[in-house]
Amino acid sequence: MKKLQMMAILVGGFVGPFTGQALSVVLPEFAETFDITVSHAAMTMTAYLFPFATMMLFSGRLTRGVHPHKVVAGAYIVTLPLALLLLVTPSWWLFLVCYSTIGIANAFTTPVLQIMLRELVPANALGKALGTYAAMQSLGMLSAPLVAGVSSVISWRLTFLVTAASAAFILLARLPVVPPPSASKQNVEGKVQWVPTLIHMLSGFVVGIGIIGIGFMTSLHVGEQFNLDAAARGFVVMCGGLAAFFASRKIGAAADTFGVHAVLTVSALIAAVALSILPISPWVVLVALLWAAAVAAAQGIQATVNLAVIASPGGSSLLSTVQAFRFFGSAAAPVTFLPIYMAIGSAAFWVSAAALIVVGLAQWLNPQRLVRS
């Protein structure tokens, strides 16, 4: 039963990103179903992401005194019927309301599931556990476009059967019972270290806006430079998710071995170097490898930031707030980087690289004191 419950935590890590990316490759079909424009269809994804990120600013503190398994169960009790409703709703507005509500519910699962891992895993293996959780998030982001594309042969709506089935599995598996964050023996005593926390917020935002959110820019670059069709462009972008899936667990284990600051700094610099070389690479295979390295490093930064926040005073309440900045960054990426790309072309990747160098330096100088039992 314990293995089944641990699997439920990992499925929770998978289903949030999966649901958020479920429409990314079927926007034309979605627009046709509801007789709306593609731009309105794209707004549907924003309707999931912005409420999700906004609620994450507060979800940790709102649930501080509640048992985590009750919080997560409540979120999936909301998600399950709404995911089923997405299969049949004839109205775009009703779809929008259901989809955004699922996003809000997910804000109470993503950070809380990681708090549960803190209670269940020894401190010297927590980095590896959080890395495994991050790998499942990557798998969700990676598999959603594939599942949606295959489902669209019959109906794109079938994609949300995965969301419903995942929610049902988690509810049936019954998540392990751990103390509320406010009563946890794992809490680190002391005052909140605000400077380190702000550095972690900056890191998450840069990861979101400068790597995770610019997959569209990578697609545009390889399309223009190498004349690739949509399928080939999608494969290049997919390499990032694959790399993150396989690397996240090892990066988390490295944080257990070498320390959080070292892994954060090295990950940021690897991403910066990869994005610096990417726009001048003469071979599409090298572009794919560089993009893979950048996304894997980005996921490594996020997983290690999570570890650093959990191991600091007030971490159980601050985790959701810090994580929210990654998703705000991802949401801001298209409106920020598309004009830059249109103005200076592929040199826009160097803007991301510069921001990541700043993150690397900030993390290297980060004065945070970590407490690991």
Same domain, 160 and 275: no
308 occurs within a structural domain: yes
189 occurs within a structural domain: no
Report the CATH number at residue 339: 1.20.1250.20
Same domain, 337 and 199: yes
Same domain, 130 and 73: yes
Q: In the prediction, which pLDDT does 29 show?
A: 83
Q: In the prediction, which pLDDT does 189 show?
A: 56
Same domain, 251 and 153: no
Residue 169's closest CA among 88, 83, 52? 83
Same domain, 270 and 337: yes
Phi, psi of 367, rounded to the nearest 5 degrees: -85, 10
Overall domain count for the chain: 2
Same domain, 160 and 257: no
Same domain, 30 and 158: yes
373 occurs within a structural domain: no
C-alpha distances (whole Å) from 296 to each of 187, 212, 291 are 29, 10, 9
56 occurs within a structural domain: yes
Q: In the prediction, which pLDDT does 23 show?
A: 79
Same domain, 345 and 289: yes
Question: Domain limits at 143?
Answer: 2-175
Q: How far apart are CA 329 and CA 338, in angstroms?
A: 14
285 occurs within a structural domain: yes
Same domain, 203 and 168: no
Q: In the prediction, which pLDDT does 223 show?
A: 84
Q: How far apart are CA 40 and CA 44, in angstroms?
A: 7
184 occurs within a structural domain: no
Q: Encode pLDDT of 336-371 as tens digits.
A: 887 888 899 999 999 999 999 999 999 888 877 655
Q: In the prediction, which pLDDT does 4 show?
A: 84
Domain-terminating residue out of 175, 206, 236: 175
Weakly modelled stretches of the chain, pLDDT under 70: 1, 25, 181-190, 192, 230-231, 234, 314-317, 369-373
Q: Cα 368 vs. chain centroid, distance in angstroms?
A: 24
Q: In the prediction, which pLDDT does 111 show?
A: 81
295 occurs within a structural domain: yes
Same domain, 281 and 163: no
- Residues of 50-89 as b/e, b for ≥16 C-beta within 10 angstroms? ebbbbbbbebbbebbeebbbebbbebbebbbebbbbbeeb
Same domain, 211 and 301: yes
Domain-terminating residue out of 143, 175, 207: 175
Q: In the prediction, which pLDDT does 231 show?
A: 65
DSSP string covering 226-239: H---HHHHHHHHHH
231 occurs within a structural domain: yes
Same domain, 70 and 164: yes
Q: In the prediction, which pLDDT does 327 show?
A: 82
Q: In the prediction, which pLDDT does 166 show?
A: 95
DSSP string covering 109-150: THHHHHHHHHHHS-GGGHHHHHHHHHHHHHHHHHHHHHHHHH
